Amino acid sequence: MSFSVIDSLKKTMLVKPHPAGIPFIIGGAAATVVLALIVKFLAVIALIFTVFCLYFFRDPERVTPQKSSLIVAPGDGVVSAITGGVSLPAEVAGDGKEKYTRISIFLSVLDVHVNRIPVGGKVVRRQYKGGKFFNADLDKASEENERSAAIIETAGGLRICVVQIAGLIARRIVNDMKKDQAVVTGARFGIIRFGSRVDVYMPENIAPLVCVGQRAVGGETVLADIDGNEPARKGAIV
């Protein structure tokens, strides 16, 4: 096996798990040992579950572009929608009537589910809202699914909102951000189990630099540049 293949495995699978996954991994490993003494077939199932948890809860390092005006993807996945003229989620909108552009990223069960800060600044509002568990790829998931929203105010006074949305089989949202906390672009802030979605709301005058169907990498892919003057990008399948 070449060094390049080994390096690739280290970067994708042989990485430390997120703390939220430790109970599942330990539980699966313990069940594997116990069941191996009783029913070997069930032990194989427990082992497969343990390996899956090691893969699902992987928390790889990321290289975040260093420019304060950049908005980066808060999660890995496919850009499933870019919607203009929308309001912030009701629980964090307050009395504001401003319109935003929403970039939605769908995370499949095979994607890294650790979430990252989309832009540096201060957390001015954070709110959890219970809800339903529709397929996270559906548009109505933004309004009706269980979610956790946070508004980050940049040094320039702009407010960017990031929302973690539970999916069809997701039943747990972890959001470690706290009100008045200073945050850094690309830093970890939570995780969603299992399939899910993350939305980023930004002022309408900021042009998206990603396209629907494009794959995003959390903490690395640039969604937009607050100070940029490039028009919204268009994509083509090639």
Kindly report the length of the chain.
238
> 92 in helix, strand or coil?
helix
Low-confidence spans in the chain with pLDDT less than 70: 1-14, 95-96, 131-144, 168-171, 194-195
Strands 114-116 and 121-129: unpaired
Query: 10 Å Cβ neighbour count for 234?
Result: 7
β-strand pairing of 182-183 with 172-175: unpaired
Among the listed residues 80, 104, 142, 196, the single catalytic one is 196
- Residues in a beta bridge with 75: none
Q: Is residue 238 part of a domain?
A: no
Do residues 105 and 202 share a domain?
yes
| 113 Cβ neighbours under 8 A, 6+ residues apart | 18, 56, 57, 75, 76, 107, 191, 192, 193, 194, 196
Same domain? 20 vs 81: no
Q: Are residues 12 and 95 in the same domain?
A: no
The pLDDT of residue 185 is 95
CA angle 238, 217, 143 (to 5 degrees): 95
Residue 235 placed within a domain:
no
Counted domains in the chain: 2
Residue 177, Cα to own-chain centre: how many angstroms?
Answer: 14
- Structural domain harbouring 46: 3-56
pLDDT at 1: 47
One-letter amino acid of 152: I
Q: pTM of this prediction?
A: 0.85
Give yes or no: 148 in active site.
Answer: no
For residue 135, the model assigns a pLDDT of 58
pLDDT tens sequence across 143-155 = 667 889 999 999 9
Q: Model confidence over 65-86: pLDDT tens digits? A: 999 999 999 999 999 999 998 9
**64: Cα separation from own chain's centroid:** 15
Q: Do strands 159-166 and 196-203 pair parallel, antiparallel, or not at all (unpaired)?
A: antiparallel
Do both 103 and 219 map to the same domain? yes
CA distances from 172 to 20, 21, 110 (A): 10, 12, 17
For residue 192 the two structure tokens come to 């969603």
Same-domain check for residues 39 and 137:
no
DSSP state of 87: P
